[in-house]
Amino acid sequence: MGLLVASDAVGAGEDRFEWFRETVSDRLMPVSLETSDAAGFRAGITDLDLGVLRLTGVACSPVLSRRTATHVRRGDPEHVQLALIARGSLVISQQHNESLVAGGLVVTDTSRPSHAVRTGGLIETLGLLIPRQDLALNPDRLDCLLARNLAADEGSGAVLADFLKSLVRRGPRCSPEELRAMGSVALDLAAAFLARQLGDPGQAPAAARAQETLQRIHRFIENNLGDPDLTPQVIADRHNMSLRSLHALFGDQSLTVSARIRHGRLERARAELASGNRGGQPVQAIAARWGFSSATGFSRAFREAYGVSPTEHRAISRAAAPQHAGHTNPARDAHHRGRPVPKFSGEDSTTA
């Protein structure tokens, strides 16, 4: 699901910059933002949930951002951010590295302080947030890439850049299932690009290969939770391994393969019950959509996992929604879905 918001929906003057500052800190991660022209500030945000990944496109007036140790302690998604500077330029510093990036890609670590200055008029960035555990790369080796200007005009960098531009432009019109599938593609492209930047070391150690296989299986599970026939045997067959090898791969995980499937299905159903987007549908219909063949079995598993029944969870979520809405600015949080992305110049824009 995509969130498209333009600062023009907020009002005029400093309200726009205040909206931008709150939205970035609340929806992405805590940061400090400053601008020299709050009255003329303009911005737009496109936020796409890609399952294991998240893609955020930001177009904004020149702005300075700081993420301090205090911000990290306040909220750290523990991700690697791989950002494409699609327009304008960015001076970025982290871990004693500093670079000017214009048209290239740059890697940052959300668990460490950073400093960035966006210049060059309207700047557009496409940021891919990747959980560290989903990258089959040594985090110590990845440190050498932080805040470096990485080329995005050839090879795997160009392929990744083109994919991100297309995804942020067309993604808001895609279904959640399509976005999750494309998230798997984005992760594979990002991992291939970063591995190339690290020197393309060839065959990875056995532990790294096992981790990569495990993450590929996790993505496969996420993309097929709605299939009632999804079982450990099906997963093993699709990944050309024995059932014993699959269970061994999950040996040091917190959940077994079957428990991982059940947990994922319950989480999807729980989120859908709380969202209100399918408020008129019976609970059993939502359960069936996420692979539960028995409504009774679903209700029992749901209560065991969350302490309430699915119906009670839906009622609690509905009761809480008006209270939450009362603390927000409707204009600030206006979601414009399915309409063309706002453009801020005569050129084609790749992000809202």
Indicate whether 98 pLDDT > 50: yes
pLDDT of residue 285: 92
The 10s digit of each residue's pLDDT in 263-312 is 999 999 999 898 866 556 889 999 999 999 888 999 999 999 999 999 99
The 10s digit of each residue's pLDDT in 231-262 is 999 999 988 889 999 999 898 888 999 999 99
Tokens for 239?
């990944």
Tokens for 215?
């993450």
pLDDT of residue 301: 93
Indicate whether 66 pLDDT > 60: yes
Structure confidence at residue 25 as a pLDDT band (50, 70, 90): confident
Indicate whether 28 pLDDT > 80: yes
pLDDT of residue 304: 93
Indicate whether 341 pLDDT > 60: no
Which region among 12-16, 163-167, 275-279, 340-344 has the lowest average model confidence (pLDDT)? 340-344
Whether the CA torsion 299, 303, 306, 312 is positive or negative: it is positive
Helix, strand, or coil here: 326? coil
Indicate whether 328 pLDDT > 70: no
Spell out the residues 6+ positions from residue 137 whose beta carbon is closer than 8 angstroms to its own.
191, 194, 195, 198, 208
Residue 252, number of CB atoms within 10 A of its CB: 7
pLDDT of residue 133: 75
Q: E strands of 104-148, at which residues?
A: 105-109, 114-131
Instruction: Tell me the sheet residues that pair with 135.
Output: none
> Whose CA is closest to 324, among 336, 312, 333?
333
The 10s digit of each residue's pLDDT in 137-189 is 776 778 889 999 999 999 999 999 999 999 999 999 998 888 988 988 898 88
Structure confidence at residue 83 as a pLDDT band (50, 70, 90): very high
Average pLDDT over residues 184-207: 75
What is the pTM (predicted TM-score) of this model? 0.62
> Distances in Å between the alpha carbon of 263 and those of 54, 97, 231, 239, 304?
21, 41, 13, 21, 11
Helix, strand, or coil here: 45? strand
